[in-house]
Copies of this chain bind each other. A is one copy, B any other.
């Protein structure tokens, strides 16, 4: 189950402190000119160590492409790639071998598999999102050939709605001083998607986006268009009446009606929980089910939001690339 998508597919592997992470992009159409610097630029948005407010782990996150390109152009063959883990500190995690941190995946992985990589979260670490960003950068370039753009912003951090970047930095600094963490909401906007993408029933574009976004570590909520707030209102306040040429005067629907795009901008929001590692003693559990007090250490972010922006965009890009290819099979 480490594969996203139906036709445009990403399969990933790798643990936080193993030798490398990586993935295989399958279904990429041929004859797409790839700008590898643009791929790396997406990686740089996500990688740690860029600001005093993020984790001190240093990774250059260079993407090594192993297949699927000929003279910089896709061939239709799968694109295999790896990203080396260079700044690993396995020994930092020996204390976790027999202990489970609260609100992490330590216990659930152990319950599922009977064994787990205890070093830095292993497979459950957010480090795996680097692979998504790399693959998303390829998907984005496919979409750009169709004039589709994807952007995102922090639409809430803690109690602050629609923060400016300065407000965001200040809130993170404030929370860091408290030895605490903070969550929020990321809004993502997809422009240029034509009407008619998305499949009925199980493959609704809204359901595909929901699945993609909720697969991001720390995601606890997803909404499209008017979302939860709009659902507290009346029909008369939320119907998107038509203007000319199938455009609508408002966009409460968020660009999707009946699970299929209507040509308006697609807007969605993803709720990202506060990081569960705070620099205070917490009640964890040992692997026998006995509570233990754990004092977190290691290198951790205070807020996942800034680095999650390219991840949200990557998941949007992977989803839309798949929807694009699926849409080609609906007309003949």
Given contacts A236-B278, A276-B239, contact A220 B215 (CB under 8 A): no
Residue A47, interface by CB 8 Å: no
Select one of B156, B207, B235 contacting A180, CB under 8 A: B235
Does A39 touch B at the CB level, under 8 Å?
Answer: no
Question: How far, in angstroms, from A274 to B234 measured CA to CA in the complex?
Answer: 6
A260 touches which of B109, B272, B284 (Cβ 8 Å): B109
Complex CA–CA separation, A159 to B232 (angstroms): 5
Contacting pair A66 B222 (CB below 8 A): no
- The number of times this chain is found in the oligomer is 4
Q: Mark A2-19, 1 if CB is under 8 A from B, else 0.
A: 111011010111110011
Assess the A66–B78 pair: CB atoms within 8 A: no
**Residues of B contacting A116 with CB < 8 Å?**
70, 75
Q: Which of these binds chain B: A50-58, A133-141, A248-256?
A: A248-256
Instruction: Say whether A330 faces chain B, with CB atoms less than 8 Å apart.
Output: yes
Contacts of A192 in B (CB 8 A): none
Q: Which of B108, B210, B249, B282 contacts A195 (CB 8 A)?
A: B108
The answer to whether A220 and B214 have CB atoms under 8 Å apart is no
* Structural contact, B67 and A107, CB atoms closer than 8 A: no
Chain A contacts with B in 172-228, Cβ cutoff 8 A: 175, 178, 180-185, 194-204, 206-215, 217, 219-228
Instruction: Contact check, B12 vs A201: say whether CB atoms are below 8 A apart.
Output: yes
User: Are A2 and B202 interface neighbours, CB within 8 A?
Assistant: yes
With an 8 A cutoff between CB atoms, is A59 at the interface? no
Q: Which residue of B lies closest to A206 (CB)?
A: B214
Complex: A300 Cα to B245 Cα, angstroms: 28
With A and B bound together, what is the CA distance between A314 and B66 in angstroms?
A: 23
Chain B residue with the shortest CB-CB distance to A276: B239
For A159, give the chain B residue with the smallest CB separation: B232
Q: Which residues in B have their C-beta under 8 angstroms from that of A181?
A: 234-236
Q: Determine whether A166 belongs to the interface, using a CB cutoff of 8 Å to chain B.
A: no
- A111 partner residues in chain B, CB cutoff 8 A: 194-196, 246, 260, 262-263
Please list 12 pairs of residues, one from A and one from B, whose beta carbons are closer than 8 Å in the complex, sorted by A's number.
A1-B201, A2-B24, A31-B332, A75-B117, A111-B195, A111-B262, A123-B200, A180-B235, A211-B211, A231-B272, A235-B274, A328-B328
